[in-house]
Structure 1
Amino acid sequence: MLDKSIQYYDVLMKRKIGTVISNPSLPPGFTFSFFKLGDEKSWAEIETYVGEFEDEKRTKVATITSWWNYTELKRDPWIHWMAVKPQYQGLGLGKAIVFKAMMNLREIEGDKDVYLHTQTWSYKAINIYKKAGFDITSERGLGGYENNNYGEALFILKNYIR
């Protein structure tokens, strides 16, 4: 769930090449499924449940997107839109889908640096990303993100991240 009680700042994170990826583990009764036509409704519902959107409809419980952004002419693998419905948080689903997305990116792209954009409101997700080997980066201009408020974001997050 987003914590909109704290100041919003963009946060960029980077998982360096060579970082070990643990095998994803889901609790009993859950399975991974890859996007198929029609899943956009479930995706919107999940993002609404965690406070990213105001409106939705349908029924999956977690989502993550593996994608690519360009930094100038270089194509970099990125993670986007990780979310787990609140009633399913705390079961390890967020960690599992992040690890699964990392394995998929490595299979497609090889072992490369991987980036993601998040925000201070998502400090719970930042803790999951850190378990997957991501660190907050001060790099600028990655994938079109300026990262101008790196210092301010770190100041707020020092009370929330492990």
Structure 2
Amino acid sequence: MLDQGGFVMLDKSVSFIPITMFRPSNAPSLPKIQLPEGYHFVFYQLGDAQAWCRIETAVQEFETEADAALYFEKAFAPFSNELQRRMLFIENPKGEKVATFTAWWTEEKAPRLHWLGVLPTEQRKGLAKALAIRVTQLLHDYYPEQDLYLTTQTWSHVAVKLYQKLNYQIIRNQDYQNIINILNTAEK
């Protein structure tokens, strides 16, 4: 859904259905990463939790940055060494962190893409695609010959379509046909 500024946000006008997707280990090669001039990837460093919270709150994943900080402390902070090789940010030419995605794992220790977010003012520049490609590459490096996973929802239908272009497939379950119907009719 577009907000008044023309930015892609969670589309809460469609039904909410959780989606699990996977990318087979033998999927075709990924496209080349393209970042706008002056933008670059950086890994998490101590103190970057605030940037993560700001980005994820801006894309409506959390009501407040305080809520995001509580989640970060519980889910990520205990793994500070792993964050330094798994949590990616994109910095803009001013050195501001404007997007993030994490090469994480599921409860069963399967490789998982986790928490994609791009500040609304930085969307539509290819940052989400660049992060999805780079995090997918990282996970394939860290977990050779394993399928990759991610969870999302129908509210993020724009991201689902991006993942599909990178050979992620929706896992079929009892909601599969409803998910496909929403994706096919969602605002483009």
Structure 1 residue 152: deviation in Å? 2.5
After TM superposition, the score normalised by the length of structure 2 is 0.73
For 2:178 and 2:107, the matched residues in 1 are separated by: 25
* 1:118-157 map, 5 Å: 118-138=152-172, 148-157=174-183
Are the aligned partners of 1:46 and 1:84 in contact in 2 as well (CA < 8 Å)? yes
Match in the other structure for 2:62:
53
Q: How many residues align?
A: 150
Match in the other structure for 1:159:
185
What is the aligned-residue RMSD (CA, Å)? Answer: 1.9
Structure 1 unmatched runs, 5+ = 139-146
From 12, 18, 23, give the equivalent of 2:32. Answer: 23
1:45-95 C-alpha deviation (Å, 9 max, x unpaired): 1111111112239x5211101111144xxx311101011111111110000
From 9, 34, 58, give the equivalent of 2:17. Answer: 9
Structure 1 residue 148: deviation in Å? 5.0
For 2:174 and 2:49, the matched residues in 1 are separated by: 32
Q: Secondary structure at the match of 1:96?
A: helix
Amino acid corresponding to residue 56 of structure 1 in structure 2: E
For 1:149 and 1:38, the matched residues in 2 are separated by: 40
Structure 1 residue 130: deviation in Å? 1.3
Q: Secondary structure at the match of 2:121?
A: helix
Name the one with the larger helix percent: 2
Are the aligned partners of 1:23 and 1:100 in contact in 2 as well (CA < 8 Å)? no
Are the aligned partners of 2:25 and 2:144 in contact in 1 as well (CA < 8 Å)? no
Structure 1 residue 125: deviation in Å? 0.7
Are the aligned partners of 1:126 and 1:161 in contact in 2 as well (CA < 8 Å)? no
Amino acid corresponding to residue 176 of structure 2 in structure 1: Y
For 1:148 and 1:50, the matched residues in 2 are separated by: 28
For 2:127 and 2:15, the matched residues in 1 are separated by: 27
CA distance 1:6–1:41, change in 2 (3 Å): same
After TM superposition, the score normalised by the length of structure 1 is 0.84
CA distance 1:97–1:9, change in 2 (3 Å): same
Structure 1 residue 28: deviation in Å? 0.6
1:92 is aligned to 2:118? no
Structure 2 unmatched runs, 5+ = 1-8, 67-95
Q: Secondary structure at the match of 1:78?
A: strand
- Report the identity percentage: 39
Match in the other structure for 2:102:
65
For 2:163 and 2:125, the matched residues in 1 are separated by: 16
